[in-house]
Structure 1
Amino acid sequence: MLEPKLKEKHWSPEMELQIQRIWNEERIYKFDPNTEKPTFSIDTPPPYASGKWHIAAAIHYSQIDMIARTMRMMGYEVYFPLGIDRNGLPVEVETEKRYKIRMFEYPREEFIKLCREFLDEAEQDIVSITKRLGISFTTEQYFQTDSELWRMVTQATFIDAWNKGFIYEDYRPNVYCPRCRTTLADAEVEYSEIPTKLVYLRFGVEGSDEKVTIATTRPELLPACRAVIYNPDDSRYHWLRGKRVVTPLGDIVPVLEHPYADPEFGTGLVMVCSYGDKMDVQLFRELGLDPRIVVDEDGLMNEAAGRYKGLTISEARQRIVEDLEREGLLERVEDIIHRTPVCWRCKTPLEIIPMREYYLKQVDFIKELENYLNTVRFYPEWSSNYWREWLRSISSDWPISRRRYYATEIPVWYCKKCGKPVLPSPGRYYRPWKDEPPFDKCPHCGSSEGFEGETRVFDTWFDSSISPLVYNGYLWNDDIFKKLGPSDLRPQGKDIVRTWLHYTFLRVHQILGRQAFKHVWLSGMGLDAQGRAMHKSLGNVIYPWPLFEKYGADAVRFFGAAEAHHGSDLRISERKIEGAYKFLQKLWNVARFISQFEEPEGRVDLQPADLWILGRLNRAIERALNGYRNFDFFDPANEVRSFVWDVFAPHYIELVKERAYGIGDEGEAKSARWTLHQVLRAVLKLSAPIIPHITDYIWRQIYGGSVHLERLPEPRDEYYTDYLKLGEALMEFNSSVWRMRKEKNLSMREPIKVEIPEELSPFKSDLVRLHKISD
């Protein structure tokens, strides 16, 4: 009795841990900077350490790993680092929640310490999941965006941009989150459909008893109303041309014409207040109005709000409606659903508040960035439209300063005498709010009276936007950076094109004068089985650890690859992950069967059935390679599964099983065994980027070495024969005989009388043995 080399009867998740230990010992993924191979570097998304990963994130990173493994098996030396994003608003919000504190009411250094403790905990969960997934990172240490190294490089790039004239400070209206007390960039604004009151207010007309009605969703901004507009084409209000109206609070403001006013919304008359939204900012500029700011940085009404001073925005909204109703100046209130801008992190409705901030120029670079759309390859190709449309929408520069604590500090001190900013030399990490300045005299006025350190920090995207530079050695390892330059590939989700992708192209262009990447890979979103995004509030979050324990990492990885084409959203289902696990068992059973036969050496005279399956394998290889070259793993996963499950195992193996056992002449047996091993080798190599654990385990047991050091298979012309054309007829004949046996209640061992079609005569001997055909 032949003994299989694969001793275990079943594949189990625990066996993945065995193969991972071998990978660690052999360090087979380590990047060799002295390689003669072409290099391929990946700008791995640094996952944000603000909480536990759900299954969609695990699948996303496993697919990036598939790219790394694919490129290695295509002959590249792959540089695949891991970074952890630890800066900015999200961790501050999570720290406030955990400790039930408010950041600005807590000592800065103590709050930073609490943030670090939370980050260390969340980071370990992320790192352990990447290890359990078998992700083949090439560096033993991972990067952290809050490390002194990363922050040093961030500050150095700011100093460089300052010296190039790309940075300026200005006092202007900005999107502002009252909850987080910080400015936000346009790219960080999200929108929610929120139930809102549409309030109809009565305005007087100066010098007459006439009244007009104006509808607004922001009655609390009535003290900031500086004009009323109507559409020039709205004939209902031509009689107001050149007049002024009296607000319900007694202010007299002009009536002006402007096409922004929508005749279909409310009454067609619109209050212009400072500031209800970004359009108000534009209207004030175009109409030459003087703003009256009534909301402060804490989200409270200020002195300019008069009797509503000190109220929150929601309190002021309710109070002013109550007052105007009592005074007979409220006509009616309607319930509507309003598309409201909210903070990307805490979901608080946003305000527009004038503040002094630092800005990085981006409007001046739009045309140059648009040129990269012609030279960068996007996967899928149509996904370039995400960035193209965002570039076309940009109308203002990027506010990069934030009034927060846990982020990279802006490296600026201000002379106490002349007030001018002074920047240090790049090359180390500075904390101006705490550290003494690295200079004694002001270079502007010569004063030695001292300096005030900047307390603001950078927007978190200012740090993460230089990831392809930090990863690849910029300003800390010249040798590696000379070899790699910025990364070859940016893989990321489509939801952060406006931020991470755009800002990286902008920053690398400003720093190096070149495009950041050759390839951009944009993935879809991971959804629940009903097609909903995963949120704790919906109770539909699926965490990966239970799935790893039950089915293993390879089942999760295979499901992620096989479920949808790259770029499409992915519906995550445990039932389908279980189905992927069943395929792994099928692959194991096939490999275990083949492992009992020694792989023949020397010349083999292939039989018709052998040439048929090798031709069918050729077709699977072609389709899979096309997917791999496009970094789309849907076709490779499904092609391999279909080939193994529907063709190779049920038809070819059954067809040649007795021949492989030696029933027939020696040459036929040798041909069957050789073909079985050739197909298994190709299937393992073709599957390895997607399911790395089981393929390497099988390869090592049967063939020795690691499958991940092999090259992907290529189709061979000599296997394209006329027998391939007979494949469908061959499989249909097999199926018809099996159905006939079932209908006649015949076991597989009993002989059966059936006529073999003439076209299948090349396979006659194998068919007779398989089906026990007696006549």
Structure 2
Amino acid sequence: MSVKITDKAWSSELEKKIIHDWRNNKTYDFDATTDQSNEKYFVIDTPPPYPSGRPWHIGAAAHYAQIDMIARFARLKGLKVIFPIGVDRNGIPVEIHTEKKYKIRMRNTDRKEFLKLCKLTLDETEDEFMGILTSLGLSANFNQKYQTDSPDFRAFTQATFIEMWNRGLVYLGNRPNNYCVDCGTTIADAEIIYSDIETKLVYIKFYFKNSNDSIVIATTRPELLFACQAIIVNPEDERYKKIQGKFLKIPLFEREVKIIPHNSADMNFGSGAVMICSYGDLNDVQLFRELGLTEIRSIDLNGRTTEFAGEFANLKIKEARDKIVDGLTNRGLVEKIEIITHRTPLCERSKTQIEIISLEDYYLKQVDIKSELLERSNSIKFYPEMHRQILVNWINSIAIDWPISRRRFYGTEIPIWYCTKCNSPNLPQPGKYYRPWEEDPPFEKCNKCNNDKFEGEKRIFDTWMDSSITPLYITKFNKNKEIFEKSYPTAIRPQGKDIVRTWLYYTILRCVYLTDQIPWESAWIMGYGVDEKGEKMSKSKGNVIDPLPLINKYGADAFRFWSASETNIGYDFRCSELKIQGAQKFLSKLWNIGRFISNFEVVEENNKPHELNPTDKWILAELSKTTEKCLEGYEELNFFIPANVIREFTWNIFAAHYIEMIKGRAYNTKSDDNRKSALYTIHKCFRTILLLLEPISPFITYELWSKIYGKEEMLSSKKKIPIIEKKYDSFVHLTQSIIKFNSDIWNKKKETISEITNKPLSLKDPIQTEIPTELELFRDDLIVMHNIITE
């Protein structure tokens, strides 16, 4: 069975041949439709990557490599794994990329033509990152790949929306909302990031009605001066107690607004007096509602000031700000201007400052269910537990329902037609993919007034409406009851910590509504890949590392081993080519060990000696300890632990000490029990090393196992999780003594000059020394190993 390995080095070129083997043998294919068992499936709700522009940096590739480690370890435990691969192809990023690529603007392009260009862009980049996934050795269900912009997936999204609509969970509301001028659409709170940005704090004089007296009000949004509807001061602020209830004239615009006492006014910021505009921030929104103020529409959908700005109308925000400040300055109404650092809300995708604009949008209820979601989410096991708090904090912060409609093109259409007579929304039956902006409705009469004329909805869903149903789509919800019952809730959701408040949260919300169950048993949360300085990678910083050249240069196994050995679960990890090179060196060492071991026949369990040699018992004790630590790490899905434990055992104990100690017995021409003991043990150790390493570095372990122990056994899933054997644990305490003794001998030989060659002794040269009493058990092996002469 065993084949002597003649290749002197492990080559990553072999990985391509192995991928071909896996495909031909359908090694990782699993078809639930033909499975007759009643076993629960281990389903991974894999994050569908987004193929807009250059798809990935090194951190993302490392993330998916580790998701594959989850799948491979589950198979090692004997579980039936469904590991789907999806592609997230909806949303703003592809639209922005398409605009840049073709030098067009979405709003000025025919919708059909724009959608065609978006799809073309996605198809081109999808091929590239699917190639990265394949080259990484992902053991996924590539034959069942899904795309979120496919008619089937979009029909599924629409069907779930129709169900929620029929249950009264969706409503149309006109309210102030987050709006990205560059993206041209409403965005949810979860899509906002905050950045500390330098800005001007302008101190403006406001004069009292019919008076030459004034107070100073500081603001970072002078361009919204014309939309001011009140001034608030803290009721405890002694500076303003006498003027509460009086009126001030708005500079430049001469309208009058009332001074209102309110506890939200910060006495220590600016002048302590605050203008309330529609809308500078969320505090303005809350105060408009609380105080019953009338909204003045300040910014339009194109990011320009409205007609209410008078002579400053139809200006971009920055232009309006500069001109209004100039106007105030020229009239002597600016007391001073300070440069401050201001926490500013930005669109997560475009990094543009968020405006708050009143728009009519569809909302999915979420405020009413917050407490229930918090309670239900307690059943999810988090890897690591610390990242549960991200979800808890987000749910607690939710103040409004989720706006789910977007004024964009590339996404799943909202399946509604409006009656032209009564304006009533009419929804179709679920099942088909509908495009109301292009198609006639699948019904003839309005369900309210029997009118037969309709206008189709032009808006699309927020992309998270699609992404949030991935666990339902991959488990055949409402399509195959038998598969769904064996698959749902899924086993695990692996994802990055940056999308806990979006993808993870929205999936919980939607799945609880649709199934009355949490969608997964566990959530595995990874940190960011950062550069060597510890900074998060971004294109703007120019510190993004492309994974493909590194995979091509060092091989996927080296990349994967680096990913595991460098990344402690849940924490950010540094990306370094030097560390990948170090991982490659370990694999080279493993290959050389395999070459050595392939020289010796395999002694199976049923042919081993009744009593093993003490040296063999010692290494089996170390193997047991190593196995236990590795499995503990694997069970916590923290691949940092097994990667480093395996490397330490393999390189610094098994190869450096054990193999050297038993070479004499292994090469002994007499086939006695001592030799059998050595061969049985060395193969048992190496098999276990390969099994423990397989989830992390599957290529080299596959090749070594196939050559030494047979490809048939490798492909027939006979591999099982290694057993922890405690029977030789009493030998573990001798490890440090063995290491010290061997190291001392090696060092002594290096330091001793030969009388014959006048050079330091070689490791093969004889040396006179005594063996410590505690190592007498290993006497024979140590004498042969070091060529010891004893008195």
TM-score by length of 1: 0.98
Deviation at 1:569, TM superposition (A): 0.4
Write the distance in 2 (CA, Å) between the matches of 1:196 and 1:272.
Answer: 19
- Residue 40 of structure 2 contacts residue 487 of structure 2 at CA under 8 Å; is this kept in 1? no
Superposed structure 1 runs of 4+ greater than 3 Å apart = 35-38, 475-479
Verify: 1:736 aligned to 2:735, yes or no. Answer: no
Write the distance in 2 (CA, Å) between the matches of 1:349 and 1:164.
Answer: 36
Match of residue 669 from structure 1: 675
Match of residue 756 from structure 1: 771
Match of residue 119 from structure 1: 122
Write the distance in 1 (CA, Å) between the matches of 2:527 and 2:83.
Answer: 21
- Residue 244 of structure 1 contacts residue 253 of structure 1 at CA under 8 Å; is this kept in 2? yes
Deviates more, 1:242-251 or 1:613-622: 242-251
Verify: 1:388 aligned to 2:392, yes or no. Answer: yes
Match of residue 636 from structure 1: 642
Write the distance in 1 (CA, Å) between the matches of 2:371 and 2:292.
Answer: 30
2:722 to 689, 699, 713: 713
- Residue 597 of structure 2 contacts residue 683 of structure 2 at CA under 8 Å; is this kept in 1? yes
- Residue 4 of structure 1 contacts residue 592 of structure 1 at CA under 8 Å; is this kept in 2? no
> Which amino acid letter does the alignment assign opposite residue 740 of structure 2?
E
Verify: 1:615 aligned to 2:621, yes or no. Answer: yes
Deviation at 1:663, TM superposition (A): 6.4
Write the distance in 1 (CA, Å) between the matches of 2:16 and 2:552.
Answer: 11
Deviation at 1:43, TM superposition (A): 0.3
Residue correspondence of structure 1 range 370-389 to structure 2 within 5 A: 370-389=374-393
Q: Percent same amino acid at aligned positions?
A: 50
- Residue 42 of structure 1 contacts residue 488 of structure 1 at CA under 8 Å; is this kept in 2? yes
Match of residue 110 from structure 2: 107
Deviates more, 1:60-69 or 1:233-242: 233-242
For residues 92-138 of structure 1, give each alpha carbon's deviation from its aligned partner in whole angstroms, at most 9, with x where no partner exists.
Answer: 01111111111001100000000000000111111000000000002
Q: Structure 1 residues 411 and 706, CA, compared in 2 at 3 Å: closer, same or farther? A: farther
- Residue 78 of structure 1 contacts residue 138 of structure 1 at CA under 8 Å; is this kept in 2? no
Deviation at 1:192, TM superposition (A): 1.9
- Residue 196 of structure 1 contacts residue 337 of structure 1 at CA under 8 Å; is this kept in 2? yes
Match of residue 258 from structure 1: 262
2:589 to 568, 586, 597: 586
- Residue 4 of structure 1 contacts residue 597 of structure 1 at CA under 8 Å; is this kept in 2? no
Write the distance in 1 (CA, Å) between the matches of 2:575 and 2:713.
Answer: 31
1:318 to 318, 322, 344: 322
Write the distance in 1 (CA, Å) between the matches of 2:80 and 2:31.
Answer: 7
Write the distance in 1 (CA, Å) between the matches of 2:545 and 2:161.
Answer: 40
Deviation at 1:483, TM superposition (A): 2.4
- Residue 172 of structure 1 contacts residue 355 of structure 1 at CA under 8 Å; is this kept in 2? yes
Match of residue 755 from structure 2: none
Write the distance in 1 (CA, Å) between the matches of 2:633 and 2:200.
Answer: 52
Match of residue 572 from structure 1: 575
Verify: 1:147 aligned to 2:150, yes or no. Answer: yes
Write the distance in 2 (CA, Å) between the matches of 1:648 and 1:66.
Answer: 24
Verify: 1:703 aligned to 2:705, yes or no. Answer: no
Deviation at 1:717, TM superposition (A): 2.5
Deviates more, 1:423-432 or 1:256-265: 256-265
1:49 to 23, 29, 51: 51
Deviation at 1:38, TM superposition (A): 3.9
Write the distance in 1 (CA, Å) between the matches of 2:608 and 2:188.
Answer: 68
Deviation at 1:350, TM superposition (A): 1.0
Write the distance in 2 (CA, Å) between the matches of 1:672 and 1:438.
Answer: 76
Deviates more, 1:495-504 or 1:593-602: 593-602
RMSD across aligned positions (CA): 1.2
Write the distance in 1 (CA, Å) between the matches of 2:479 and 2:61.
Answer: 30
Match of residue 184 from structure 1: 187
Match of residue 342 from structure 2: 338
For residues 44-82 of structure 1, give each alpha carbon's deviation from its aligned partner in whole angstroms, at most 9, with x where no partner exists.
Answer: 000011122111111000000000000000110000000
Match of residue 488 from structure 1: 491
> Which amino acid letter does the alignment assign opposite residue 702 of structure 1?
I
- Residue 181 of structure 1 contacts residue 403 of structure 1 at CA under 8 Å; is this kept in 2? yes
Write the distance in 2 (CA, Å) between the matches of 1:232 and 1:541.
Answer: 51
Instruction: Provide the secondary structure at the position in 1 that maps to 2:789.
Output: coil
Deviation at 1:525, TM superposition (A): 0.5
2:659 to 653, 661, 681: 653
Instruction: Provide the secondary structure at the position in 2 that maps to 1:255.
Output: strand
- Residue 171 of structure 2 contacts residue 362 of structure 2 at CA under 8 Å; is this kept in 1? yes
Instruction: Provide the secondary structure at the position in 2 that maps to 1:714.
Output: coil
Match of residue 70 from structure 2: 67
- Residue 32 of structure 1 contacts residue 77 of structure 1 at CA under 8 Å; is this kept in 2? no
Unaligned runs of 5+ in 2: 753-759
Residue correspondence of structure 1 range 586-605 to structure 2 within 5 A: 586-601=589-604, 602-604=607-609, 605=611
Match of residue 769 from structure 1: 784
Instruction: Provide the secondary structure at the position in 1 that maps to 2:6.
Output: coil
Match of residue 467 from structure 1: 470
> Which amino acid letter does the alignment assign opposite residue 591 of structure 2?
W
Instruction: Provide the secondary structure at the position in 1 that maps to 2:257.
Output: strand
Residue correspondence of structure 1 range 447-458 to structure 2 within 5 A: 447-448=451-452, 450-458=453-461
Match of residue 365 from structure 2: 361
Deviation at 1:262, TM superposition (A): 1.1
- Residue 608 of structure 2 contacts residue 676 of structure 2 at CA under 8 Å; is this kept in 1? no
Match of residue 213 from structure 1: 216
Match of residue 756 from structure 2: none
For residues 311-345 of structure 1, give each alpha carbon's deviation from its aligned partner in whole angstroms, at most 9, with x where no partner exists.
Answer: 11111000001111111111111222222111111
Write the distance in 1 (CA, Å) between the matches of 2:530 and 2:541.
Answer: 12
Deviation at 1:716, TM superposition (A): 1.1
Deviates more, 1:748-757 or 1:59-68: 748-757
> Which amino acid letter does the alignment assign opposite residue 612 of structure 2?
L
For residues 355-394 of structure 1, give each alpha carbon's deviation from its aligned partner in whole angstroms, at most 9, with x where no partner exists.
Answer: 0000000011111111123211110012111101101100
Aligned residues: 771
